[in-house]
Amino acid sequence: MRRSGFVMILALVFMLVLAAMVMALAYYVSSETRGIGFQLDDTKALYLAQAGVERGFREIRNDFLATSQQGVADLRGFDTGPSASIGTPNNMRYIDGTTALINANTDQAIILTFDSNYTQTRIVSVLFFIRASRAATGTNPTLVISYSTNNGGSYTTALTQSLTSTTLANFSANITAAGLTWPTIMSSNFRLRAQRSAGTANINIDAMWLRVTYGIDTNTEPRYTGSYDTFPKTLGDGFIQSVLITDEASKVHLNYATQSLLSFLMQEHGVAAGTAGTVATNIVNYRGATLTNPFDSVEELQQVTGMTTAIYDLIKDHVTVYSFINTNSYWPPTSAPSVSRAPVNINTAPREVLEAIFDGLTLGASDPASLATDIINTRATTPFTCFYNSDQGMPLPVATDFFDFVNARAYLSAAERNRVLNTADASLLPPVSGSAGFSSPATEFCYANTTYKIESVGKITVQGPVTNDIDLRVKTIVGNDGSRTFQNYTGDTTSTGYWKENYE
């Protein structure tokens, strides 16, 4: 009996152990199943967010291919040095009635080094314009206008025109078919030339310039207003919760902003002037005077001495390292041939960025805010299309250039208007003939963008004893032309884009 009882007890223990093992295995399987389920839900949320990114990318790409909004600008030439045997060649730089003089068939009126406010835009067409007339005496002269892309080694004739009037008039030739690009136009190898090939009357030249039509980016486009699609969008058993497209050119570039601009940007967000000035100096010191330690990401800003979480959270959405870098930014003149700057898109920049740009121009106390307000109100219905247009020879006057806008601000003095215009202009040639330069600009304005941040949120609703939502946000930078490799600073060849995921 004792042995039988012992066996029964042993069997009972074995059964209990076996039951425990089965329960443990069942719990393990259940846990693993739940874990796999959670992982599948996470993956679904990620795929939904990625689908939102692709929807935003397609909207950007479609606009690039269609060039739906356009601007037209007159590009003035700064350099008339190559001109030979021509009277007062610098008179060809402005449309103002003061003329240069061609009085022999061997004379060459040449101009180059053109305005550089538009170099990140998409060229649609290029016209060669000249404003000229014949002198009162002599026979009708024949004007020949041509252009060179190889430093004057050879010229391509664009127009041959007989001049019959002593009144200045515009003549133009379409040179779009030459396939001109911004690097070609900005190169010192590109130049315009005018000569006389027949007749004896002298030729008076008021100005020679390029008229370029190009694509612009504004806040009235569907991708900014959000009207290109409707969200949330059901996809499978989840949602593309939202897609936000942000113009990186609407922000201040951490690697090229001046100490003053960085300081005023923080002050516009409520940071005390002393603190803002100290942190701005630390930012400039961190990146180095010659960009020995450039910022590779906005998040790196948190490594700067004095940068608190509060300050970072205030400005992080208004700074970037991905906007276009203008290596042909010349104004104001310096000892170097050019100074790289990162222009800000006047059509998309938020109020804080606009006011920070104007804060350092020694304007009236309320003028920066007034200018920002006027810009925001104007672009809401008629976006800015260029810095300067002559309004001469156009089918209709161009009233959307920044030059005319600034000159219509009655609360600015003439000197203040010049300072605003000079900081907004990237070119060597001041916008006004005889204008005094301004030595401490913030950065120039531009009218198009090269990179966008797309933020997309994918959402999965998990049913169970407690209903739970899984939201996953994806952030990425994409180029307006489909590229996904970006330049953070001049000379950077290693940056290969940006992608970030996080749960919410």
Residue 153's identity, in one-letter code, is G
Instruction: State residue 84 phi and psi, 5-degree precision.
Output: -125, 135
Provide the strand spans (E) within 30-164: 70-79, 100-102, 109-114, 123-134, 142-148, 156-162
CA pair distance 388, 369, nearest whole angstrom: 23
Quick: pLDDT tens for 138-195. Answer: 999 999 999 999 999 999 999 999 999 999 999 999 999 999 999 999 998 999 999 9
CA pair distance 37, 497, nearest whole angstrom: 32
Quick: pLDDT tens for 246-273. Answer: 999 999 999 999 999 999 999 999 999 9
Q: Could you tell me if residue 2 is left (phi over 0), alpha (psi between -120 and 50 degrees) or otherwise beta?
A: alpha
- The bridge status of strand 445-446 relative to strand 344-345 is parallel
Give 317's Cβ-side CA count (13 Å radius).
14
Q: Domain segments of the chain: what residues?
A: 64-68+218-451, 70-215
Give the mean pLDDT of 374-392. 87
Lowest mean pLDDT among 209-213, 367-371, 485-489: 485-489
Partners of 214 in the beta sheet?
Answer: 71, 123
Residue with tokens 């024949």: 142
CB–CB of 70/213 below 8 Å?
Answer: yes
Lowest mean pLDDT among 121-135, 153-167, 194-208, 319-333: 319-333
Give the mean pLDDT of 55-60. 91
Task: Return the pLDDT at 336.
Answer: 45
Give the mean pLDDT of 296-323. 96
**DSSP H helical ranges for 219-332:** 222-225, 259-268, 273-287, 309-315
Distance of CA 425 to the CA centre of its chain: 14
CA pair distance 216, 401, nearest whole angstrom: 13
% of residues, the chain, pLDDT over 90: 59
**Token code pair at residue 329:** 């930014």
Q: 0.75 exceeded by the pTM?
A: yes
Q: Which helix (H) or strand (E) holds 308?
A: none
Q: Write the DSSP symbol of residue 177.
A: G
Residue 165's identity, in one-letter code, is S
Mean pLDDT of all residues in the chain?
A: 86
CA pair distance 319, 265, nearest whole angstrom: 9
Looking at CATH, the fold of the domain delimited by 70-215 is given as Jelly Rolls (2.60.120)
Quick: pLDDT tens for 70-122. Answer: 888 889 999 999 999 999 999 999 888 899 999 999 999 999 999 888 888 89
Distance of CA 249 to the CA centre of its chain: 4
